[in-house]
Amino acid sequence: MTPAKKYKAIVVGSSAGGLNALKTLIKNLGKNFSIPVIIVQHISADSENYLIHILNDLKCLKVKEADEKEQPQPGYAYVAPPNYHLLIESDQTFTFTVDERVNYARPSIDVLFETAAEAYRDQLIGIILTGANNDGSQGLKKVKELGGMAIVQDPETAEVDSMPRAAIQSCTVDHILSLEEIAAFLNTL
Amino acid sequence: MKKSQDDLLENQVIEIRLLIQAIYEKYGYDFRNYSQAHIKRRVINRLNLSGMANISDMIHEVLINHKFVDQLLMDLSINVTEMFRDPSFYKAVREQVVPVLKTYPFIKIWHAGCSSGEEVYSMAILLREEGLYNRTQIYATDFNPVIIKQAREGIYPINRMKEFTLNYQKAGGKSAFSDYYTANYESAKILDTFKKNIVFATHNLVTDSVFAEVHMVVCRNVLIYFDRNLQDKVVGLFSDSLTGGGVLCLGSKESMQFSGFNHNFESLVKNERIYIKKYHV
């Protein structure tokens, strides 16, 4: 198996400062970047999902809200809707739940990462970006345990460093990089 | 990846399937066509809280311990809700569904998967404000008898009233929300007048059939837990229950686009997933 074929999905978690970080990350991905990207950005329950418009305006990946039972496709980035947890089924389709907040968050990064880890195993990359809490660190640990790759934004470069720091402490991460470096690395896959 | 991790995950899939089968055979509650990722999350959560060693131990406990079954039913049925949840939905009902309902001399509504009742009382309040409540009968159902009992009581923590009031206002409420409940130290009780036209009953969407002909079905954030086959079956059940021109309200992330009964309906409010059943199907 060539490295280019190995990874089937990328999950990304971001919180405070996430909008700018996601813009930088997606802007720097290559025009023909083909691994589906699945994003949980902490967002208030009643917000219109403005993130999608902003990321779409970059004219890089096609960005849309995740739909129930949808299968992630190459060339797309999917954003979890406000007030729903986004889970990945074993058949690699999206499911939503409205159960309790996890780490005070719905959608929660841990919920996405943990279910994605089981669905994709060693074909998954988990990326934790800027944020002011520790959501995502349990999920990233699970990604590693099941053979996936763990990448964390260099806390020195993060708008808010506590979420990346918590992620780095939770497991042995593969790469700690700036946003531009993360994009450059992903472009080599 | 380590072989042991693969093994563990494979075993969990088998154990959860057996647990779900045990609940079905012993108690008749059928979770076999629920989203597996959801079921797994809830089961593992309960496993961690229970202190049991593995899911196989839970199977035995389910068979012998009724309290544990009740607990597990609470886990598997999501009961996170609020009054006037998704205010834009209620606003759309007020502006675009009420005019339809006003054409009926008597209105029957089925609220399926009503959980602890917050959204049913929200609808009752809205219909009262629109002058329709006195000629409305609401059937509010859920498969879980424990949660139906709570719904019937209509008592909610006082500390949630601020959030509910805000929702009510965003939903286009015409009065003061505090007019609709009596406050105690810890709790708020919905006024009895809103209960007189609501019948709360247990009904299982998975295993039970149509029980009434209604003008409106409200079933929000229930289908998201079902696989496609079960979603399809339940939308069929709603279609059979509705009169021609009747209204179907789903959750804001639920869609009928994959359903075989799609052609029975047309969209009334697209963003809010409100549909009208066609007269000739």
In which band, very low, low, confident or very high, does the pLDDT at A1 lie, cut at 50, 70 and 90?
very low
In which band, very low, low, confident or very high, does the pLDDT at A73 lie, cut at 50, 70 and 90?
very high
Q: Name the CA radius of gyration of chain B, rounded.
A: 20
- Contact list in A for residue B254 (CB cut-off 8 A) is 68
> Are the C-beta atoms of B117 and B151 separated by less than 8 Å?
yes
Segment B97-147, tens digit of pLDDT: 999 999 999 999 999 999 999 999 999 999 999 999 999 999 999 999 999
| CATH code of the domain containing B115 | 3.40.50.150
Same-domain status, B208 and B92: yes
Q: Answer whether A95 sits within 8 Å of B228, measured CB to CB.
A: no
Q: Give catalytic status of residue A42 as yes or no.
A: yes
Cα–Cα dist A91/B97, whole Å:
37
Same-domain status, B128 and B163: yes
Q: Which of A85, A135, A137, A170 is catalytic?
A: A135
User: A101-105, B34-38, B54-58: lowest mean pLDDT where?
Assistant: A101-105
Cα angle value B44/B48/B51 (rounded, 5°): 135
Same-domain status, B33 and B151: no
Segment A129-148, tens digit of pLDDT: 999 999 999 999 999 999 99
Same-domain status, B130 and B266: yes
Q: In sequence order, which residues have a C-beta less than 8 Å from that of residue A15 and are 6 or more positions away?
A: A41, A42, A105, A109, A130, A131, A132, A133, A135, A160, A163
Segment B171-196, tens digit of pLDDT: 999 999 999 999 988 999 999 999 99
Domain end point (choices B76, B97, B115): B76
Q: Answer whether B80 sits within 8 Å of A98, measured CB to CB.
A: yes
Same-domain status, B14 and B116: no
Same-domain status, B13 and B120: no
What is the ipTM metric for this complex? 0.90
> Are the C-beta atoms of A189 and A165 separated by less than 8 Å?
no
Q: Answer whether B221 sits within 8 Å of A98, measured CB to CB.
A: yes
Q: Give catalytic status of residue A91 as yes or no.
A: no
Q: What percent of chain B has pLDDT over 70?
A: 99
Q: What percent of chain A has pLDDT over 90?
A: 86
| CATH code of the domain containing A97 | 3.40.50.180
Note whether A79 contacts B: Cβ–Cβ < 8 A: no
Same-domain status, B37 and B15: yes
- Contact list in A for residue B225 (CB cut-off 8 A) is 97
Average confidence (pLDDT) over B38-62:
95
> Are the C-beta atoms of B73 and B236 separated by less than 8 Å?
no
Domain end point (choices B76, B105, B127): B76
Q: How far is B207 from chain A (nearest CA, A)?
A: 22
Average confidence (pLDDT) over B208-233:
94
Helix or strand run (H / E) with residue B272? none
Same-domain status, B163 and B255: yes
pLDDT at B67: 93
Residue B81 in domain: no
Structural domain for B37, as ranges: 3-76
Same-domain status, B115 and B251: yes
- Contact list in B for residue A119 (CB cut-off 8 A) is 37
Q: Answer whether B224 sits within 8 Å of A81, measured CB to CB.
A: no
Q: Name the CA radius of gyration of chain A, rounded.
A: 15
- Contact list in A for residue B42 (CB cut-off 8 A) is 99
In which band, very low, low, confident or very high, does the pLDDT at A44 lie, cut at 50, 70 and 90?
confident
Same-domain status, B57 and B128: no
Q: Which of A69, A90, A100 sits opposite B228 (nearest CB)?
A: A69
Same-domain status, B35 and B100: no
pLDDT at A86: 97
Residue B98 in domain: yes
Q: How far is B111 from chain A (nearest CA, A)?
A: 18
Closest CA to B49 of B17, B27, B71, B67: B71
Cα–Cα dist B247/B34, whole Å:
25
Residue B82 in domain: no
Q: In sequence order, which residues have a C-beta less than 8 Å from that of residue B179 and are 6 or more positions away?
A: none
With H, G, I as helix, E, B as strand and everything else as coil, classify residue B157: strand
Same-domain status, B52 and B106: no
Structural domain for A133, as ranges: 3-187
Number of domains within chain A:
1
- Would strands B155-157 and B187-190 be described as parallel, antiparallel, or unpaired? antiparallel
Using CA coordinates, name the residue in chain B closest to A122: B1
B124 φ, ψ to 5°? -60, -45
Number of domains within chain B:
2
Q: Which of A14, A15, A108, A137 is catalytic?
A: A15
Note whether A64 contacts B: Cβ–Cβ < 8 A: no
